[in-house]
Amino acid sequence: MNGAGTAGTMNDAVHVLVVDDEEIVRESLSGWLRKDGYTVQTAPDGRAAVEALQRARWSVVLLDLKMPGMDGLQVLEEARRLRPEAAYVLMTAYATVDTAVAAMKLGAFDYLVKPFDPEELSVLVQRIVAQQELLQENASLRQALKREYGFHDLVSKSPAMQRVFDLARVAARSASTILVLGESGSGKEVLARAVHAESPRAGGPFVAISCAALTETLLESELFGHEKGAFTGAVARRKGKFEAAAGGTLFLDEVGDISPKLQLDLLRVLEERRFQRVGGTESLAADVRVIAATNRDLAKAVADGSFREDLFYRLNVIAVTLPPLRERPEDIPLLVQHFLDRLTKDLARRLDGVSPEAMAALVAHGWPGNVRELRNVLERGAVVAKGNVIQLADLGLPAPDPARAAPPSGDPLPLEEVERRHVADVLSWAGGNVTHAARVLGIDRMTLYNKMKRWGLQRPEQEVAAHARR
C-alpha cells in the first residue's frame, strides 16, 4: 500500500464512505483505506448511505452496484443530487459495458471490477484526491484574482480603475459628499454601493434615486417626502428618500438633470443638513452621506448656466471618474469571466467560456453602453448558445462599422459621431425594435429615443413611411 498520499494533502482530511451489503467487503476496504491514512465510515445499504450523505460531506464514495433494496445506480442518482462535489466509484462483479456506461452517465468518477487488490484501490483514490486538490486550487486562485482585482462587486485590472478603487476606499472612510462621474453603464451605482459598504455607515440603509426619471414635483416629494394634503393626491404623510436613508447613504443618480428649483433645495440641505417635507413646517435632520452621480459634463453645464456653480462645488468635494470601458479593453476578459460565473449560477447551466473569435470581437467592440452593455450581450450569448462555449454568432454583436474597421484615413471622428454610428448600427441590427436595441446598448428606452431624436435616426418602418410621404 502506498501511504504517502498526494503532495500537500493530509489524508485524514479525506473522508471516504464505503457502501456495501457484505460485511467482509466493508471491513477489508476500510482496513486498506485506513492504512493509507484516510478517514473511513461504512454503510450496509443504500438507505444508510443516503443518510450518511445527508449528514456529512465526503470526498470519495465507494458504492457497491448490486445491493438489496436501493441498488448502486439508484443511490448514485440520489447521491449526486445531494453531494455533487464528491467523487463516486462503483464496485461491480458484473462489469458489463452497459453498467459502466450507465455509471459514467450518472456522473460516477470511475468503477472497479471485483475482486480488486489494495494497490488498485489506493491508486484510484490517490488520483481522485489529486484532482480534487487541483479543482480546489483553481477555485481559490479565482477567488484570489477577484480579491486582487476587485472592489466589492466591481472587477477591474486597469491601472486607471485601480486608482479609482484606491480613491473610493479613502473617500469611503470620510463623511464627505462624493461625485461619481462616468458614462451610462460604467458602474457608478455599483461604486456608490461599494463606498457605502466600506463606510462607517455600512450598517445603515443605501437608498438610490434616479433624478432623471421624475418630474420636478414628483422628485421633490420623493426626496423630501410630503405632508398629508400638501397637494392633490397627497392623502397621507409620506417619508422621502432623505428620511429613508437616515443613518446611511443617499445615492442621487443623474443629478445633472435636476431643475433649477431642486438644485437650490438640494444645495440648502447639503449646507444646512436640515430639510422640510413638502407642505410641512417641521425642520428635520438630514442624517445622510450623499453620493451623487451623473453622466453629464457638469463643469460644462455650470459654464452654460444650466447647473448652479455653488451646488457643483458642494457635490464635487471628492470626485471619482469611472473611465469608459473602451478605454480599458484589458478589463474585458476579466469581466467576461466574472459575468459568465454569475450566469452559470443564474441560468443553472454550464458555461466554459467564449470562443477566441467571440473574445476578439468583444475586445474590439466600442461599448457605448459600457459594462452594462457587455453584461447584456453575454447574457444573450449564454441564453442562445447551443454548447458550453459561447460563439461569435451567439453574441448578436452588430457587424463592425466599416468606417471604424478601416485604417484611419482623413480626420479622426468625434466621439459623438462614433456613438451615433454605433447606435444606428444597433438599431438596424435590432430591426428597429427600440426596446431590444436599448437593452443591447445598455441604456433605457427614453435615453435611446432622445438620442434618435437628436441625431434624426429613424426606425425602418418610419423610414418607409417618411419615404412614402415624399
Ligand X SMILES: Nc1ncnc2c1ncn2[C@@H]1O[C@H](COP(=O)(O)OP(=O)(O)OP(=O)(O)O)[C@@H](O)[C@H]1O
317 and 354 in contact (C-beta within 8 Å)? no
Residue 249 contacts ligand X per CB under 6 A: no
| CB-CB neighbours of 80 under 10 Å | 17
Given 155, 214, 291, 351, the residue binding ligand X (CB under 6 A): 155
Nearer to ligand X, 277 or 372 (CB): 372
Comparing CA positions, the residue from 109, 70, 117, 77 lying closest to residue 90 is: 109
How many CA atoms within 13 Å lie on the side-chain side of 229? Answer: 1
**Cα→Cα distances 427→75, 97, 410, 452, Å:** 53, 55, 27, 10
User: Using N-to-C axis directions, what is the helix angle for 331-347 and 370-384, rounded to 10°?
Assistant: 50
Cis amide prior to 356 (ω within 30 degrees)? no
Residue 354 contacts ligand X per CB under 6 A: no
**Cell triple for 180:** 461619481
Q: Which of residues 281-320 bind ligand X (CB under 6 A)?
A: 295
Nearer to ligand X, 21 or 379 (CB): 379
Given 46, 72, 182, 248, the residue binding ligand X (CB under 6 A): 182
* ∠ CA 464-468-470, rounded to 5°: 120
Closest distance to ligand X from the beta carbon of 201 (Å): 19
Nearer to ligand X, 46 or 185 (CB): 185
Cell 476578439 sits at which residue? Answer: 360
| DSSP-derived 3-state class of residue 209 | strand
Given 78, 153, 379, 419, the residue binding ligand X (CB under 6 A): 153
Report which residue type is found at 197: A
Cell 479593453 sits at which residue? Answer: 329
| DSSP-derived 3-state class of residue 259 | coil
Closest distance to ligand X from the beta carbon of 300 (Å): 17
Q: Which of residues 373-392 bind ligand X (CB under 6 A)?
A: 375
Tell me the Cα Rg of the chain. Answer: 31
Residue 394 contacts ligand X per CB under 6 A: no
Stretch that binds ligand X, among 74-82, 150-158, 242-250, 346-354 (CB under 6 A): 150-158
418 and 404 in contact (C-beta within 8 Å)? yes
Given 11, 92, 132, 184, the residue binding ligand X (CB under 6 A): 184
Stretch that binds ligand X, among 3-11, 37-45, 301-309, 369-377 (CB under 6 A): 369-377
Closest distance to ligand X from the beta carbon of 370 (Å): 7
User: Using N-to-C axis directions, what is the helix angle for 159-173 and 188-198, rounded to 10°?
Assistant: 40
Given 201, 365, 372, 451, the residue binding ligand X (CB under 6 A): 372
Counting residues that bind ligand X (by CB under 6 A) gives 19
Closest distance to ligand X from the beta carbon of 68 (Å): 54
| CB neighbour list of residue 297: distance below 8 Å, 6 or more residues apart | none
Residue 190, Ramachandran bin (φ over 0: left; ψ between -120 and 50: alpha; else beta): alpha
207 and 184 in contact (C-beta within 8 Å)? no
Nearer to ligand X, 14 or 351 (CB): 351
Residue 441 contacts ligand X per CB under 6 A: no
Nearer to ligand X, 289 or 375 (CB): 375
Nearer to ligand X, 276 or 321 (CB): 321
Closest distance to ligand X from the beta carbon of 16 (Å): 40
Residue 5 contacts ligand X per CB under 6 A: no
Residue 233, Ramachandran bin (φ over 0: left; ψ between -120 and 50: alpha; else beta): left
Stretch that binds ligand X, among 165-173, 184-192, 270-278, 383-391 (CB under 6 A): 184-192
Nearer to ligand X, 297 or 309 (CB): 297
Closest distance to ligand X from the beta carbon of 81 (Å): 32
Of all residues in this chain, which one has the CB nearest to ligand X in the complex?
A: 187
Stretch that binds ligand X, among 80-88, 152-160, 425-433, 460-468 (CB under 6 A): 152-160
Q: Which helix (H) or strand (E) holds 192?
A: helix 188-198
Closest distance to ligand X from the beta carbon of 218 (Å): 18
Binding mask 108-147 vs ligand X (x if CB under 6 A, - otherwise)? ----------------------------------------
Given 26, 338, 422, 439, the residue binding ligand X (CB under 6 A): 338
Backbone phi and psi for residue 174, each to the nearest 5 degrees, phi listed first: -90, 175
446 and 454 in contact (C-beta within 8 Å)? no
Positions that interact with ligand X (CB under 6 A): 153-156, 182, 184-190, 253, 295, 335, 338, 371-372, 375
